[in-house]
Amino acid sequence: MNKLAVIALGGNALLRGNQVGTIEEQEDNTTKTLENLIFLLKEDYNLVITHGNGPQVGNILMRNDAGEELYGIAQMPVDICVADSQGGIGYMIERMFLNILNKFNIKKNVVTLVTQVVVDKNDPAFKDPQKRIGRIYSKEQAESLHKNKGWIFKEEVKEHGGYRRVVPSPKPVIIRNAKIIEKLARDGNIVIAAGGGGVPVCMDEDFNISPVEAVIDKDLASALLAINIHADEFYILTDVSYVYINYKKPNQEIKEFLNYKDTLKYLEQGMFTKGSMAPKIKACLQFIEHGGEKSVITEATKLEDKTFGTKITMEYED
């Protein structure tokens, strides 16, 4: 049986930090990233691709604001905005990948699934929303929106100040349609799913689905998807070539090979930055803990060069 790999495209794989975010920039970045996956296809891997959506869904939310302020267009809730970003980004990845497959004369279908991800309505994150979304508002605007819409805001600590809306970031519990995703992938189709962490929903005791105003961590959702579809390997493509300990300190050290026990120790010691590397490490450990063979964290355009990237396994590889 061909190996099955889940490839999580981080924000850097689609949009670089110094870019405006035009479609031309995103298409160029996506193409360069996806060309690195060709070697996996040549080694007979089946692929499922996930992706981030931070800048894109932020722009959707700001268009929401502008439409309401300028033209009285009703705003859409966060779950609809996440679904919009899944469809748009998925379409872009799908189209770019089809062109790359054509370039290398590889015959495969590429399909995008707008994916719902179930969270627990009793998750503690709902009592302590921390995830910043959308634009920066003045104090007066934030107070008005809190009064009229019930939105929660936190003060920005960056240079220009102001206030941004915050929403919960609950843990993913169930990836909807995981069996369908696995079957499509094992049948040789390239599947794009669970974009942006998935569309956040809750399920009641009668199995009815309802939306929630939340954002799910994309790395944790990608790891859960990899577990649910029984993937062999899990890759996170980001903006660094390796995982470091003592990052940006005189004793900084590259870790190309890590086992589960040591990685967990470094995480507990606070070696990984909370808002960036720590969630990725947690996702990789979760995958390994549930039977995954290998997790890899590497720079978006260097996956094909196997001398790059940090490989995490239950035990050290020989």
The residues that are catalytic are: 11-12, 131, 218, 280
- Amino acid identity, position 270: G
- Contact criterion met (CB below 8 Å) for 119 and 173: yes
Q: What is the DSSP letter of 195?
A: G
C-beta pairs of 286-289 under 8 Å, 24+ apart in sequence: 286/220, 286/223, 286/224, 286/227, 287/223, 287/226, 287/227, 287/231, 287/234, 288/260, 288/312, 288/313, 288/314, 289/260
- Contact criterion met (CB below 8 Å) for 175 and 115: yes
In three-state secondary structure terms, 199 is strand
Whole-number Cα distances in Å, 313 to 36, 196, 267:
22, 25, 15
